[in-house]
Structure 1
Amino acid sequence: MTTVRTTLPRRCSPAAFWRGRLRRTRTRRLLETHLLVLLLCAVVAAGSLFLSYRQTQRGAAALAAREAPAVQGLAATRLAALRADQEAHALVTARLVDVAGSGETYRSQLSAADQGLSRIADRTDQDLGTVNGLLATYGNSLGLGTSMYRDQPLMRDQKLDEADSLLTRSKVGLAPRLDALQRVQLRHAAATATMGRWQQTGWWLAEIALMAVASTLLSALFVLRDRCGRDWNPYLVAAFVLTVLLAVFPLLTATATEDRLAGALGDLGRITEMSRHTGSGLADAQQGVAQESEEVRRELAAGDWADRIYQGTVVGGLLVVVLPALGLGLRLDSDYWRRR
């Protein structure tokens, strides 16, 4: 007779069972801690990055749409007003007031000054009412001195002197008032173009949070391989690569934008200095202001690519929050949560 032996499965000892259970519990809690830290750091990083980058883009847009045109317009207005006075006096000195069409130059300068103020009226928060009134009165005095009283030397000289007073009188004249408006507008432009303390704090917070996200992702990947015997989690790997990209490209883009704004701000300062030119050479100063203004427009228009980086940053920030939640959430649900 043949004896059949059956081998019963060995049952682990109670100590080994509780050690395994404890190890699983510790691993689960470790992964849950990683998930919580990743979610918190990712939300902080994405929020800080979004707000800081958005502020940088808003500053660039405001400088291009409001502050720079206002500085340029005030400079052009001041030079045009001074040029009108110079041309009117040259007309009288050369005794050309009776020649048909001889006053077109100073009239065109007055028109340019008036149009300059009209164009910047909705681009500045400063009150232009007084300056507009002075410009109208100044133009009227020049017109009377070169047209109505051209055959009456005393009245003509009186009106031209009145125009000079309206233009250059200390503190209350047209030119000094435009100077004051330019200084204020240039300060506004500098405040818009410069990264403030809170914005710098936001960038630091975003970078620190992204570093924490990257470190936690690496730690979670090694925990999954060492304790769970899993291969590299594709969600966590993708989140790590995206975190590195978000830590580098938005910061480089913001730095390039700040450099571009600093260059434009320097050009606006030169425009303001050129507009304070007096005496001969006003035509050259006007040409210089036009050239510098065109340079500012090119500098500010060169940053359109930064908008695409901003849109990518928004999408990347959302993915940095979602991908770790999917990677660890699905693994925890598959290995631990369902079994509970």
Structure 2
Amino acid sequence: MRLGPARSRRSAYRSRTRRLLEWHLAAMLVAALVSMSALLVSYREVQISAGEMRARGAPAVQGVAATQLALLRAHEEADRSVRHRITDVVGAGAGYENQLAAADQGLSRLSDVQIDGDRGRGVLETVNGLLTSYSSSITPGAVKYVSDDLMQEEKFAEAERLLTRERTGVVPRLDVLQGHQMARIDTLSSMSALQWSGWAVAELGLLAMVLITLSALWVLRTRCGHSLDLCLLVSLLAVVFLATGPLIATSVTQDRLGTARDGLVRIEQQADDHSDLARSQQTVTETATRVRAGLAAQGWQSGMYYGALTAGALIVLLPAVGIGRHLNADYWRTG
């Protein structure tokens, strides 16, 4: 039996509308999956960088600076106590012992938090060996040769060379470690080209999602006679949230990382100021406290990640439910 012209046109119209809705649904699912994958990976990378900066980067930079200043201050205290003949002082003095103990503690912490990998561990092992030699030089100078000015001078000069000798001394070796750590800090606090690409893909995918959703709503209204679909409207709101919320949170995190990096640069510079070691130590401590406060974990940013996961699930499921319901009721079930 042949279909009449009007019925044939209606059948072709229905077929085109069904295919149009199916194409909309497929495009929405692809755009949602691509944009969500790029967004979640990019957002997570920024939060991981912030966590590494907070847990290891900032403590490592502060630790190197504090250790350098403590060692130089220890030598200064020993020189003041012994070679300048301060009365009632036994050996190198309490100031020397306190500063050397602080340096030892700093090196112990550095072994756990330094961010230069195996190369950094090698530097710290060498530094610990040099400090053993340093103590072997300064202790006789402070105790054994108190009455022999010439030998005392030689021992103190030998100890100072172990600390400050270019390239091979303790402080220059720690400078090298600090330089490598600051390079890592720059990487952590800056978005790479790959991260920028990830965000671009995510935002473009979400923009495509908005346009496809609006087009699907228009098709449902003009070709199918349905009013605004609630599932698609909620999905549209979820897309808007995904396009703005994580991006704002990332911008805030990057600002905090940039501020922390600037603070760590000041710490590195302060460690090179040996004109007043006590003041430099105090400045490093104060700056490190401000850096830690600025890097303190923000609960809402962790919540944003799980909010993005929820919204991502919605923009995948809701279009499938909304358009799938109309396709099933109007086309698939009726053939």
Give the Å deviation of 1:302.
Answer: 5.0
For 1:144-185, what per-residue CA distance to the aligned partner results, in whole angstroms no more than 9, with x for missing partners? 221232233222222111111101111101111111111111
The correspondence of residues 66-215 of structure 1 with structure 2, limited to 5 A, is: 66-96=56-86, 99-100=89-90, 103-124=93-114, 125=117, 126=120, 127=122, 128-215=124-211
Distance of 1:71 and 1:102 partners within structure 2: 29
For 1:9-33, what per-residue CA distance to the aligned partner results, in whole angstroms no more than 9, with x for missing partners? xxxx811111111111111011000
Partner of 1:315: 310
Pick one of 254, 273, 289 that aligns with 2:284: 289
- When structure 1 is superposed on structure 2, of 23-32 and 311-320 the one drifting more is 311-320
Partner of 1:301: 296
The correspondence of residues 28-39 of structure 1 with structure 2, limited to 5 A, is: 28-39=18-29
Distance of 1:27 and 1:114 partners within structure 2: 76
Distance of 1:212 and 1:286 partners within structure 2: 54
Question: Structure 2 vs 1, CA of residues 148 and 318 (structure 1 numbering), >3 Å: closer, same or farther?
Answer: farther
Distance of 1:187 and 1:143 partners within structure 2: 37
Work out the percentage of aligned pairs sharing the same amino acid. Answer: 44
SS in 2 for 1:260: helix
Give the Å deviation of 1:293.
Answer: 0.4
SS in 2 for 1:122: helix
Distance of 1:171 and 1:57 partners within structure 2: 36
The answer to whether structure 1 residue 228 and structure 2 residue 240 are counterparts is no
The answer to whether structure 1 residue 44 and structure 2 residue 34 are counterparts is yes
Distance of 1:170 and 1:324 partners within structure 2: 67
Amino acid at match of 1:252: I
Distance of 2:135 and 2:254 partners within structure 1: 41
CA contact (8 A) 1:75 1:275 kept: yes
Amino acid at match of 2:19: R
List structure 1 segments (4+ residues) > 4 angstroms apart after TM superposition.
none
CA contact (8 A) 2:92 2:143 kept: no
Give the Å deviation of 1:100.
Answer: 4.8
For 1:261-303, what per-residue CA distance to the aligned partner results, in whole angstroms no more than 9, with x for missing partners? 000001000000000112x310000000000100110011053
Distance of 2:331 and 2:144 partners within structure 1: 97
SS in 1 for 2:112: coil
- The CA RMSD measured in Å over matched residues stands at 1.6
- When structure 1 is superposed on structure 2, of 199-208 and 187-196 the one drifting more is 187-196
Give the Å deviation of 1:222.
Answer: 1.1
Partner of 1:4: none
For 1:106-138, what per-residue CA distance to the aligned partner results, in whole angstroms no more than 9, with x for missing partners? 111111111111101022211211111112222
Pick one of 52, 75, 90 that aligns with 1:62: 52
The answer to whether structure 1 residue 333 and structure 2 residue 335 are counterparts is no
Distance of 1:83 and 1:19 partners within structure 2: 93
- Segments of structure 1 that go 5 or more residues without pairing to the other structure are 1-12
Distance of 1:269 and 1:139 partners within structure 2: 31
Distance of 1:26 and 1:99 partners within structure 2: 98
The alignment covers a number of residue pairs equal to: 328
Question: Highest CA radius of gyration, 1 or 2?
Answer: 1
For 1:199-250, what per-residue CA distance to the aligned partner results, in whole angstroms no more than 9, with x for missing partners? 1100000000000000100110111111111111111000001101110111
For 1:1-58, what per-residue CA distance to the aligned partner results, in whole angstroms no more than 9, with x for missing partners? xxxxxxxxxxxx8111111111111110110000000000000011000100010011
